[in-house]
Structure 1
Amino acid sequence: MAALGATPPLTDSQAALLRARERAALIPDLLIEARRVVATVTTGWHGRRRRGTGENFWQFRPFVEGESVAGIDWRRSARDDSLYLRDKEWEAAQTVWLWADGSPSMQYCSKLALVSKESRALVLALALAEVLSRAGERVGFPGVLNPVSARNAAERIAAALTRHRPEGDMPDGQIRRFSELVMISDFLDPLDKVLRTTSHLAQRGVSGHLISVYDPAEEDFPYAGRTEFRDPETGARLLSGRADSLREQYRQLYFARRDELSRHCQRLGWSFLTHRTDHPASQALVHIHGRLSGGTFFNGYGG
């Protein structure tokens, strides 16, 4: 029986409804923050520049045996002893899916960070939607908004998220072949599940980019003395009398897990980026924009 005057604990459905209302209230502010981030980093940026079938010249690159000689630029090749191909810029609009994890673990925010992982993930997703829609790409959010080609794609996604914010696994049935997918999460699900999901998507011809968002406390493990840890997904609890004694082993396992996920993405031909919530969102946006724009393959740690 609850004590007199005490607030009874929330049921699972009541807690989920409360989280949904809190998220909906935050979305307008997150959209404003996303646009501010875009404004600070996009000066001089152009659309996504990738080799393709357009008409505009993009770059010269060395000829590789097995490629069609029809693409050789003989005038450029005559300048030295090498053969060069004349690449054209990709001009067809592409479908880019953006997904920000809505699971309970994403709500974590330690004293070392200013924002939760979920808030940062949503800001990055909305900022990417803003940038990509300006470039004429079709942008969608699985389970929230089907791909649209519109300048206000970020606003549409934000509006849809205020009405419905799915939790748990990404609904990947919508992701079609030749699409690009940006997954923003802490990726703290069982590792075999993450590897299985990404492998399945890659086998279907999806090009993927993972942004692993984490709180600085999750990397640094600044705990000491008697500390209780609680799993936000299952409610499981662990009481440690000397939390600092766990630090070295924890960090070894944490970084080993991250390295395995990075290597897995590299095997798939996907990019992998890590981002701390105590660092500016603009850092991650610059890195992922470079990857989406067809820049040098990036697989590592962004900050």
Structure 2
Amino acid sequence: MARLPSFLQRLFSPRREHGATPRPVPLPELILSARGLARQLRSGPHGNRRAGDGHEFWQFRPHQPTEPASLIDWKQSARSPEPDLLWVREQEQNTPRSLFIWVDPSASMRWQSSESLPSKYDTALSDALALGQAALLGGETVGLPGSRLRFSGHQALPRLAHALTRLPPDTTLPSFAGVPPHAALLLVSDFLWDDGIMQHYLARLTTHPGRTALLAVLDPQEHHLPFSGSVQFTSCENEPDLTLPATESLHAAYQARLTAHFSQLRTAGRGQKPFFRFHVTDQPALPVLADCHHFLRGRT
């Protein structure tokens, strides 16, 4: 009997219930992993794409006659094809910002298809904590939607990790309560929600003017249905077992349904679209996290 979470039930007969008892989360290992990933992201102060007195290079601009000569970048000026044009190196304004993080604690997130793979929840936590640590290293404040908790400073990662893991498995979807209008949002889930819940939540998402990154964490057996023959699937969330005959004949339909399901996340929003990426648990985290980090820093 294949032990899969309820993604098949959600996709073909959608329901969202909870009830499985999660296994303990190896928090120290996740914190160490997150710190290592954050270092690799080479986090620095997060600029606001405006000139200021920060430490990250933004752009070169022509020197103005009223400005002191000490501002001139002589190396760049010497490389200029226009010998009479002098250049000034501008830095980004270094103003602290906020990042709010939610990690889906539902029971099916605690599942893995193989003991050699991490669960979706452990992967989601590691990804979220790495991006949270990168924000903390960049001088940002990190919070949780719907909570008054705020974290800042290079040493705040264990407290952030503890707060994220305290959400019980039957927690409802995240609220935007307490999230400042221009704060960045990072939402990490498998997003295998039924279409009604998805549409309702995405409609709420359009009201948030700040940047929103959606990171979908999937097990490889969810990403590409690998089965053949008659297979009985069991649920992690108190849903009835599901027996499917000739599962090899469902591969194309499954992939089409999965693509259509996630296209809702790719196209949500009215103004600035949410940023959407997949992370499959048997694949490296760093390329996906680098994309998310780049977006959350305002680089795209």
Q: TM-score, normalised by structure 1?
A: 0.75
Show the 5 A alignment for 1:89-104.
89-104=92-107
Whether the aligned pair in 2 keeps the contact of 1:98 and 1:125 (CA below 8 Å) is yes
Q: How does 1:1-303 map to 2 (within 5 A)?
A: 18-19=21-22, 22-23=23-24, 25-39=25-39, 41-42=40-41, 44-52=42-50, 54-56=52-54, 58-60=57-59, 79=82, 89-111=92-114, 114-143=117-146, 146-161=149-164, 163-165=166-168, 167-264=171-268, 268-295=272-299, 297=300
3-state DSSP of counterpart to 1:264? coil
Unaligned 5+ runs, structure 1 = 1-13, 63-74, 298-303
Change in Cα spacing, 1:172 to 1:113, as seen in structure 2 (3 Å) is: farther
Q: Structure 1 residue 213: deviation in Å?
A: 1.0
For residues 203 and 246 of structure 2, the distance between their equivalents in structure 1, rounded to whole angstroms, comes to: 39
Q: 1:140 Cα deviation (Å)?
A: 1.2
TM-aligned CA deviation for residue 54 of structure 1: 2.6
Distance 1:160 1:258, change over 3 A: closer
Contact kept? 2:146, 2:177, Cα under 8 Å: no
Letter in 2 for 1:132: A
- Listed as ranges, the gaps of 5+ residues in structure 2 are 1-17, 62-72
- Structure 1 SS opposite 2:202: helix
* Cα 1:265–1:216 shift into 2, 3 Å: farther
| CA gap 1:204/1:176 in 2 versus in 1, 3 angstroms | same
Aligned residue pairs: how many?
267
Alpha carbons of structure 1 residues 59 and 244: separation in structure 2 relative to 1, 3 Å: same
Q: Deviation per CA, 1:173-224, whole angstroms, max 9, x where unpaired? A: 1222111100111111123423432332332423211111111111210011
Percent pairwise identity? 27
Code of the residue aligned with 1:30 in structure 2: it is: L
What do the CA deviations read for 1:195-254 (whole angstroms, capped 9, x no partner)? 432332332423211111111111210011120123433513221121111111111111
Task: Say whether the 8 Å CA contact 2:102–2:164 is kept in structure 1.
Answer: no
Please give the alpha-carbon distance, in whole angstroms, between the structure 2 residues aligned to 1:150 and 1:217: 38
1:45 deviation in Å?
Answer: 4.3
Partner of 1:65: none
Structure-2 separation of matches of 1:217 and 1:59: 43
Q: Check the 8 A contact 1:113/1:216 in 2, yes or no.
A: no
Quick one: structure 1 residues 110 and 151, their matched pair in 2 at CA, closer, same or farther if it must change by over 3 Å? same
The one-letter code matched in structure 1 to 2:174 is: M
Query: Aligned AA for 1:59?
Result: W
RMSD: 3.4
**Corresponding residue SS for 1:194:** helix
Aligned AA (1:92) = T
